[in-house]
């Protein structure tokens, strides 16, 4: 019996560890989100030792400006690279640093197709940033992959994601990635399936808001027999961004993906990360890595300070 129990504990431990991100020094991940106008939003996550230095926002800006100038010279296309944000979170003996920048005219728009690749002809392209690292490319929902070279190690067509384990295939080789616009719009069920989590969150928030309005009206009637004006709905929007996140977590049962928070409130990825870092420091939420996303969990019996 003791041997069976020990084996069970080992299996459970292995399962739990499988969802934990293993951090190592100078680990880099590039996430490139393609816009329908050919521009791109880049997010770079770099992990360094807690004793090492890392770029501040002005230093990062210098890197992306240099890369943009080199790409413009190679492609002959007018483009602009602009750093948007930088945040750092201490995780054990490491620091996870997240940068983001916007790249205008990153891709070529050809009629209704988007072509990605000519910017990678810049010599030592990724050395302008932070060297070798995993690449994740996300393309618009209304497009499909027509051509992709080099071949990705992982391809998720419903999620519109292509992945490569490193940058080696993007150095010294022709990169050709062509996205073709769908001739037929996705069906209703396809849209529902692709956005199931977001729809669930929106419904949960709507229900929570309705309950809150009903409760306010009930309390108003109990305070006075005279007719009392109902508090305008706009006042519910005066809560801080951190309180909005907490209310959302409460409405969906206390746990949600970090990307769902970003999409629901239309925050930038960096802003979401900064808000959640502040909530973690206050002991309101905790996060753990799940694949390339993070699960945000509300800590019971906590409140957000109103500011």
- Residue-by-residue DSSP string for 143-184: EEEEEEESPPSEEETTTTEEEES-SGGGSSS--EEEEEE-SS
C-alpha closest to that of 280 among 87, 101, 18: 87
Q: What is the CATH number of domain 195-298?
A: 1.10.10.10
Across the range 150-167, mean pLDDT stands at: 94
Ramachandran bin of 94, using left for φ above 0, alpha for ψ from -120 to 50, beta for the remaining angles? beta
Give this prediction's pTM.
0.56
Res 133 pLDDT > 70: yes
What pLDDT score was predicted for residue 119? Answer: 93
Q: What is residue 227's predicted lDDT score, i.e. its pLDDT?
A: 42
Q: Alpha-carbon distance 141 to 138, whole Å?
A: 9
Average pLDDT, integer, range 11-23: 47
The domain segmentation of the chain, as residue ranges, is 22-181, 195-298
Q: What is the pLDDT of residue 44?
A: 96
Closest by alpha carbon to 296, among 239, 236, 235, 252? 252
Residue 212 confidence (pLDDT): 57
CATH level 3 topology of 22-181: Immunoglobulin-like (2.60.40)
Name the token pair of 59: 């230093």
Please give the average per-residue pLDDT across 281-287, as a whole number.
89
**Do residues 270 and 86 touch, judged by C-beta distance below 8 A?**
yes
pLDDT at residue number 253: 82
Q: What is the pLDDT of residue 290?
A: 81
* Average pLDDT of the residues in 198-225: 59
Pure H helices in 180-231: 188-194, 196-223
Secondary structure (3-state) at 127: helix
8 A C-beta contact, residue 20 and residue 289 = yes
Q: Higher confidence at residue 86 or residue 301?
A: 86
């Amino acid at each position: 019996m003791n041997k069976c129990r020990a084996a069970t504990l080992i299996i459970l431990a292995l399962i739990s560890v499988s969802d934990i991100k293993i951090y190592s020094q100078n680990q880099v991940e590039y996430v490139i989100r393609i816009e329908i106008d050919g521009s791109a939003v880049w997010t770079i996550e770099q992990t360094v030792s807690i004793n090492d230095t890392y770029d501040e926002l002005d230093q990062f800006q210098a890197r992306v400006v240099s890369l943009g100038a080199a790409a413009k010279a190679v492609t002959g296309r007018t483009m602009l690279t602009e750093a948007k944000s930088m945040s750092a979170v201490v995780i054990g003996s490491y620091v996870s640093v997240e940068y983001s920048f916007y790249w205008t005219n990153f891709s070529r728009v050809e009629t209704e197709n988007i072509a990605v690749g000519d910017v990678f002809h810049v010599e030592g392209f990724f050395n302008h940033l932070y060297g070798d690292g995993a690449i994740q490319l996300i393309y618009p929902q209304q497009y499909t992959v027509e051509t992709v070279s080099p071949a990705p190690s992982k391809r998720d067509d419903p999620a519109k994601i292509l992945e490569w384990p490193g940058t080696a295939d993007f150095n010294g080789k022709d990169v050709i990635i062509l996205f073709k616009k769908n001739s037929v719009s996705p069906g209703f069920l396809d849209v529902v399936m692709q956005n199931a989590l977001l729809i669930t969150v929106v419904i949960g928030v709507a229900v929570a808001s309705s309950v809150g309005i009903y409760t306010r009206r009930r309390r108003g009637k109990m305070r006075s027999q005279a007719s009392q004006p109902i508090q305008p709905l706009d006042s519910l929007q005066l809560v801080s961004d951190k309180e909005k996140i907490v209310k959302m977590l409460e409405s969906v049962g206390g746990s949600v993906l970090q990307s769902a928070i970003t999409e629901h409130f239309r925050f930038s990825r960096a802003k979401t990360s900064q808000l959640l870092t502040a909530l973690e420091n206050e002991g309101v939420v905790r996060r753990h890595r799940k694949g390339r996303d993070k699960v945000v969990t509300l800590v019971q019996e906590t409140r957000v300070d109103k500011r």
